[in-house]
Amino acid sequence: MEKQKKFGLFRYLVPGFLFQSVVIGGGYGTGNEIAQYFGIHGMKAGIIGMIVTTLVWAVVAAATFEFCRTFKVYDYNNMSQKLLGPVGYLYEVCYIILMLIVLGVINATASSMIADLTGWTGWIGIIILSLGIIYLILRGTETIEKVLSFWSYVLYAVYAVFMIICFTKFGPAIKEAFAAGSGEYTKDFVNASGEALTSTIGGLSIGSAIVDGFKYSFYNLGIVPAILYTVRECETRKQAVVCGLLAGLIGVLPAFLLLLAMGGALPEAVFNANNNGTAVSAIFSKLNMRWLYVIFEIVLFGTLIETGSGFIKAVDDRIEISAAVNGQETPKWVRPVVAIGLTLLGVAVSTFGLTGLIAKGYGTICWGFLIVYVIPMLTIGIYKIAKAGK
């Protein structure tokens, strides 16, 4: 009973904060994932797609957290083995592929951010990002939980200011974007280089927006088993399920706010995202507020560090827990080698470019997670939970 009393509001929110911190990475930081999966459909259809993503995230996270509480498995390897049995390794294959794609995306994003902000070489951004990730991994679980949770509060504070300014300055443009519905929305604009361009978004079916909502949710759900250590203190079904439902809502909120802000910079934001630029640069070029852009990018740079450390920590946990199960102690050199090695791999992957990694990498791996994680968890997982009882 004493432990249950200590499970207050903060413990309910922590899994959501960490899920958001890991998922936010390159996509929210540049706005490109939001533009390519939701903005491209127009505002109304894009929001429908985002509602689909929210529901899938919340339901699957709730089922996963309760599955892990029931069977006391708090790393992705033991979870996938318990869920899938002898083919549990298939989840790990998908997870490693996703991790490398994400590490590539956040490195490419860090490079782009620093280059845009300072004019320096993008390698400065990659070095700062790498050092931040390695530091958090070496500090361990408690530091990661505290830093990621604190940074979520900072993120929401900046987003609040950002949204107030966007609605104040872009109100008519956002209304115009909503009025266009899911129909074709063509507009002339001038890019950062001074070129006059014409771009069109929308004109796609509501069904395609729903499919993109599912696709976006599937590959990001591969992150959920990376934060299982945050639900170790859940002792009841209610605690685990509520943590999962809140994780879905908390995770999608920044994306929803960014999509609304993007309504004031359509179709430029989508054009930038599809042409090796960034969606947020289109928003800030219209705002013409350098100070806000600098603060926004600094805060989102911090989330890149959180994303990378979240993915790599899951691999470190997998190694350490496997060793403990076999009665072995993990050598002290393993954690730094894993942190440095995977960070360097991410740097190598980033050379493929931001746009290609998001469009091709994420678009392909989403189906893998649907097959080896989402469907099994919502069928086999729920069956095993029901069979095991409380």
pLDDT range class, residue 186, cuts 50, 70, 90: low
Q: What are the phi and psi torsion angles at 27 (to 5°)? A: -70, -50
One-letter identity of residue 381: G
Question: H helices of 119-140, where?
Answer: 122-139
CB of 279 within 8 A of CB of 262? yes
Residue among 282, 286, 256, 250 nearest 269 (CA): 282
Structure tokens at 237: 């079904």
Q: Does residue 387 surpass a pLDDT of 90? A: yes
Write down the pLDDT at residue 226.
77
Cβ-contact 251, 58 below 8 angstroms: no
For residues 130 and 152, what is the distance between their CA atoms, to the nearest angstrom? 20
pLDDT tens for each residue of 211-251: 999 988 987 887 887 788 888 888 899 999 999 999 999 99
Report percent pLDDT > 90 for the chain. Answer: 28
Which pLDDT score, from 0 to 100, does residue 52 have?
96
Q: What is the pLDDT of residues 1-20, one digit of tens each?
A: 444 446 678 889 889 888 88
Name residues whose C-beta falls within 8 Å of residue 172's C-beta, 6 or more positions apart in sequence: none
Q: Which residue has the higher pLDDT, 194 or 121?
A: 121
d(CA 312, CA 283): 32
What are the phi and psi torsion angles at 318 (to 5°)?
Answer: -60, -40
- Distance CA(255)–CA(265), nearest Å, equals 15
Is the separation of the CB atoms in 242 and 9 below 8 Å? no
Q: Which amino acid is at 97?
A: I
Q: Give me the mean pLDDT over the 322-346 stretch.
A: 89
**pLDDT over 60 at 22, yes or no:** yes
From 37-46, 184-193, 221-230, 378-387, the region with the lowest mean pLDDT: 184-193
Q: Under 8 Å CB-to-CB from 137, ≥6 apart: which residues? A: 144, 309, 312, 313, 316, 335, 338, 339
Backbone angles phi, psi at 220, to 5 degrees: -70, -25
CATH number at residue 58: 1.20.1740.10
Position 354 scores a pLDDT of 55
pLDDT reported for residue 2: 43
- Domain span at residue 288 reads 2-388
Taking only the tens place, the pLDDT of each residue in 74-98 is 888 899 999 999 999 999 898 888 8
User: How many independent structural domains does the chain possess?
Assistant: 1
pTM: 0.81
pLDDT digits (tens, 9 = 90+) for 259-287: 988 888 877 888 777 776 778 888 888 88
- pLDDT level of residue 191 (50, 70, 90 thresholds): low
Banded model confidence at residue 184, pLDDT cuts 50, 70, 90: low
Total Cβ atoms within 10 A of residue 328: 10
Considering only CA atoms, give the Rg of the chain.
Answer: 21
